[in-house]
């Protein structure tokens, strides 16, 4: 089971990779900590299966609001990234966040302090009966200070660890000698490609030197060839 910090880092990496400001992500994490302990598979009051109660990182209520959406979109509803994708969908469709002078997208881009944004999130996204919960602002500052230097930059030797971190799993079980992996840096997902023609189809016209660093914002896709112990890594964008 992942620790709270590991899950928070996974959320941080995903949301910052799709353009959220660090301050907005920290504010969201501060609220998630109070809502669910930053546990994706958390049911309100630990009443497992109660679809009328809250569920997930931000405790969508009723639980069906999120779970039905995830299932309809072919997502594993317990998954951290699936829940981040729900947040992403809410931003695009301006759902759940109701502020008189700010859209959800504007919130995600804001550079106001984590404390101010945490207060905005509880008042206009979570909307509990008692919105005066200063602990959330304190928690937001904690996550900001802890993760603000996590810039998602990866060097050649760290690539395997980077993929495992972003996918939330052990990448070794997915990669075998001779296979190809298409890794979408912006979405934190990957898929196995079989055959050089499939690789060429997504890499044609692009080449990235292995001597360069990569960031989640600078490249949309990577193809890793023969990712095995001692093998040369071939990055293609």
Taking the chain (237 residues) in runs of 10, the rounded mean pLDDT of each run is: 88 89 97 98 97 98 97 93 94 95 96 98 98 98 93 43 41 38 44 42 33 37 35 35
Angle between helices 114-121 and 135-147 (to 10 degrees): 130
The reported pLDDT for the residue numbered 40 is 96
The reported pLDDT for the residue numbered 2 is 74
Q: CA–CA separation, 166 vs 107, rounded Å?
A: 24
Backbone angles phi, psi at 190, to 5 degrees: -150, 165
The reported pLDDT for the residue numbered 151 is 57
The reported pLDDT for the residue numbered 163 is 43
88 is catalytic: no
Largest CA distance in the chain: 58
Q: Specify the 3-state DSSP secondary structure of 8.
A: helix
The reported pLDDT for the residue numbered 211 is 39
Q: What domains does the chain contain, in order, with CATH numbers?
A: 4-147 (1.10.530.10), 156-236 (no CATH)
- B/e letters for 51-60, b = 16+ CB within 10 Å, e = fewer, are eebbbbbbbb
Ramachandran class of 147: left when φ > 0, alpha when ψ lies in -120 to 50, beta otherwise: alpha
Q: CA–CA separation, 25 vs 190, rounded Å?
A: 23
The reported pLDDT for the residue numbered 1 is 63
Q: Which of 35, 44, 126, 160 is catalytic?
A: 35
């Amino acid at each position: 089971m992942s620790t709270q910090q590991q899950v928070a880092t996974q959320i941080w990496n995903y949301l910052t990779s799709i353009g959220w400001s660090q301050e907005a992500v920290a504010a969201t994490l501060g609220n998630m900590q109070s809502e669910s302990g930053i546990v994706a598979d958390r049911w309100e009051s630990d009443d497992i299966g109660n679809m009328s109660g809250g569920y997930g990182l931000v405790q969508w209520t009723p639980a069906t609001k999120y779970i039905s959406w995830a299932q309809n979109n072919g997502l594993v509803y317990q998954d951290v990234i699936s829940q981040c994708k729900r947040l992403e969908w809410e931003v695009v469709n301006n759902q759940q966040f109701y502020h008189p002078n700010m859209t959800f997208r504007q919130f995600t881009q804001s550079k106001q302090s984590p404390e101010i944004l945490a207060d905005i999130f509880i008042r206009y996204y979570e909307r509990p009966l008692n919105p005066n919960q200063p602990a959330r602002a304190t928690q937001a500052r904690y996550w900001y200070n802890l993760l603000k230097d996590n810039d998602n930059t990866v060097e050649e030797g760290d690539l395997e660890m980077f993929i495992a971190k972003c996918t939330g799993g052990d990448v070794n079980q997915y990669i075998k000698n001779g296979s190809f992996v298409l890794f979408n840096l912006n979405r934190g997902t990957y898929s196995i490609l079989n055959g050089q023609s499939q690789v060429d189809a997504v890499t044609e016209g692009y080449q990235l030197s292995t001597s360069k660093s990569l960031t989640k914002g600078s490249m949309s896709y990577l193809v890793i060839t023969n990712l095995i112990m001692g093998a040369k890594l071939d990055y293609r964008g």
